[in-house]
Amino acid sequence: MSLAAIAAAASAKDIALNTPNTTLLLQAEPGARVYVRYYGSRLDDMSQVRNANIRGEEAYPCFGYGSGFISSMALGVTHSDGDLGTDLRYVSDSCTGFEGGTDYVVTTRDTKHNFEVDLCYRTYGNCDVIEMWTVIRNGEKKPVVLEKYASAALPFRKGDVWVSHEHGTWASEAWLTEEPLNAGRLEIADLSGTRNAMLNRPNIMLSLDGKPRENAGRTVGAVLCWSGNYRMTIDTDSGRYHHLVCGINETGSRYTLGRNECFTTPALAVVYSDEGKGGVSRNYHRWARLNGKIHNGQALRKTLLNSWEGVYLNVSQGAMEKMMDGVQALGAELFVMDDGWFGGKYKRSIDNCALGDWVTDTDKLPDGVPALEKAAAARGLKWGIWIEPEMTNTLSELYEKHPDWVICNPGREPVCGRGGTQLVLDMSNPAVQDYVFSIVDNIMKETPGTYYIKWDCNMDINSVGSSYLTSDRQSHLYVDYHLGLVRTLERIRANYPDLVIQDCASGGGRVNYGLMPYFDEFWTSDNTDAEQRLFIQWGTSMFFPPCAMAQHVSASPNHQTGRVLPLKFRFDVAMTGRLGMEMKPSDLSPEEFEFARNAFATYKEIRPVVQQGDLYRILSPYDSHGLASEIFVTEDKSEAVFFAYKFRQYANSPAWPCFRFDGLDPDAQYVLTELNRTSGPEPWEGKTFSGRFLMDTGIELSLGGVYSSCIIRCSSCR
């Protein structure tokens, strides 16, 4: 170290951001750049980092002036005089406590322009999540253009570092991919405009100790809380660190800031855990449930039946009431009428019309929606309804009246989606925001007993242009769409805090923490095939809590894959999230009906453990020879529910394990009871085992043929 560097280090200030088990250490000094020196398990003596000569990297590297990381910029600005360089130096910092955590702000200023960036951090006392974002302020005399405006940058020391991320498509979301970080750039990004979780999702984990493991190894998670286009890059050059930069995708989104305007970037929520991917997941789950990152996260979610796969668009008063009879007899709690119920001039009997015309189709429902809500209430059921508020069709009265409300590249034909006619409404336009609010507001006024709304979104933005935005701000559309959407959702929540709203986007296309603060749950996938759901749910649970994952039992053969599966397997897979059904109950045989009725009753008993407990994934379907297992454990470890599945058949399987549990109290005694049992008791039924034995040794499961499964309740008898 040079003398100048030693002198600088001596005057440098440590800013330690602590969570219960982790520390993110920033270092700042007046007139110098801010550095991330350390991120890992909790440190109480920060001088160790300096004494160990750990330098770290810049907390928010900028383009154009003297930064070492040309490839991994967090901020790029064209200043008001055309200057491309930015050089942010520390000015001050502050911290403010709030109930449950602490907010830190580190203010930096450019050395040449009147241009400031606050580096903002939020820590929580009930989980090891740190949120990081920036507030960018233009104090220059004229507008500046943000060319790149990431939320945060974070360095990771090289080693055997692996990255886990999710990719997919419609009916096949959240496939987990794991790969070592090699030289070059790994980029995970989205440009769909509306559904940023359908293909690649804005969530990654970095395993710092080699190949990712479920419940061991130093692991970092990074999740961007944004529902629009995003970009997460990891650059690996010849330096000592991998450079992670995450934020809004700047492609097509240069953002102009007028004089004295500021822009707040979405939060990047990071977690460090030395308990592997599982430790990171459990932290995200707690963060989401306990800190409002999913709406009403601590409430128990009700069981339901959704009409889509039962009747598709063939909604009618009789069909709905018949399904309600089934729901009531099964003991589920809520009935949801899906697509197909609306339309005046254009009727929603095919999927190419009527979005935007949210009036009841009285040919199908002569007594209107309020009559159905009453019919549900008469059966002791809650009532829910489907809408797709951000969309319209060229065949709709809305489009005839407001053609300027749709997103469309000016002077060109609209590019339509579903049915050859679907179009996206321009949520950057306040008049459209008011209209979208009014859709929910009208439903709640006309049918005040509505308990649940399924909010769908079935189209991307594939023709960019806004009639509302001025020509110099067209590139704001992708961002302002989501700011407008969030503004509308905030208004809905201010008026209807108790309404349960499902986030659906052709399935899991919008499973992101930009939107989940306003939604109670999401439709995990349009694919309800229980075998593929094992994978989809496994991947989704990496970052999202089971209480938010809508998991429905559907018909066999399955409508998406044609696979024939036993009803028990279908229930056992669906019971690891928010249980529901997606079929006509009248299609069940009497024996199946009886099984389903009992399964709903059983689910209600274990629901607090599944929906609010800690999830330990154990045998991964990705690498366990056609087996999978996981366990949910209450915080006090007095109750647990274990799930195991067999979805491949091998003669004399070469890798048949003793099924081990996880997350239990090693010193507690647990009695085991099998749930949803369809065959004679296993030898361990009703017996008592120590938590240590169950975790170290485990039990033998018969799991006879393919598609057999087992649910075991563990009740502590300390």
CB of 508 to ligand DGJ, least distance (A): 9
| Closer CB to ligand DGJ, 134 or 458, in the complex | 458
Q: CA-CA distance, 226 to 23, in Å (whole number)?
A: 24
| Closer CB to ligand DGJ, 506 or 612, in the complex | 506
Annotated catalytic residue 587:
no
| Closer CB to ligand DGJ, 479 or 511, in the complex | 511
CB of 458 to ligand DGJ, least distance (A): 5
CB of 457 to ligand DGJ, least distance (A): 9
Q: CA-CA distance, 357 to 389, in Å (whole number)?
A: 10
| Closer CB to ligand DGJ, 162 or 522, in the complex | 522
Q: Which residues bind ligand DGJ (CB under 6 A)?
A: 308, 338-339, 386, 456, 458, 504, 506-507, 523, 526
| Closer CB to ligand DGJ, 390 or 456, in the complex | 456
Q: CA-CA distance, 602 to 616, in Å (whole number)?
A: 21
Cis bond upstream, residue 557 (ω within 30): yes
314 CB-contact burial (10 Å; exposed 0-12 / middle 13-18 / buried 19+): exposed
End-to-end CA distance of the chain: 58
CB of 386 to ligand DGJ, least distance (A): 6
| Closer CB to ligand DGJ, 192 or 506, in the complex | 506
What is the maximal distance between C-alpha atoms in the chain?
Answer: 85
Q: Considering the candidates 351, 456, 460, 572, report the single residue annotated as catalytic.
A: 456
Annotated catalytic residue 472:
no
Q: Which residue is nearest to ligand DGJ (CB)?
A: 339
User: Which whole-number Å values give the CA distances from 111 to 27, 253, 469, 478, in the listed order?
Assistant: 19, 26, 33, 31
| Closer CB to ligand DGJ, 459 or 640, in the complex | 459
| Closer CB to ligand DGJ, 268 or 416, in the complex | 416
Q: What does the H/E/C string look like for 129-183?
A: EEEEEEEEEECCCCCEEEEEEEEEEEEEECCCCEEEEEEEECCEEEEEEEEECCC
CB of 391 to ligand DGJ, least distance (A): 10
CB of 438 to ligand DGJ, least distance (A): 21
Q: Considering the candidates 526, 529, 614, 665, report the single residue annotated as catalytic.
A: 526
Instruction: Please report where in the chains the tokens 């579903």 appear, as a residue.
Output: 418
Contact 128, 272 (CB under 8 A): yes
Would you tell me the crossing angle of helices 567-574 and 590-612 to the nearest 10 degrees? 20
CB of 323 to ligand DGJ, least distance (A): 15
Q: Please report the DSSP string for 538-591 in residue order.
A: HHHTTTS-GGGEEEEEE-SS-TTT-----HHHHHHHHTTSEEEEES-GGGS-HH
CB of 603 to ligand DGJ, least distance (A): 21
Would you tell me the crossing angle of helices 430-446 and 368-378 to the nearest 10 degrees? 50
Q: CA-CA distance, 455 to 491, in Å (whole number)?
A: 15
Q: CA-CA distance, 151 to 187, in Å (whole number)?
A: 16
Which residues belong to the active site?
456, 526
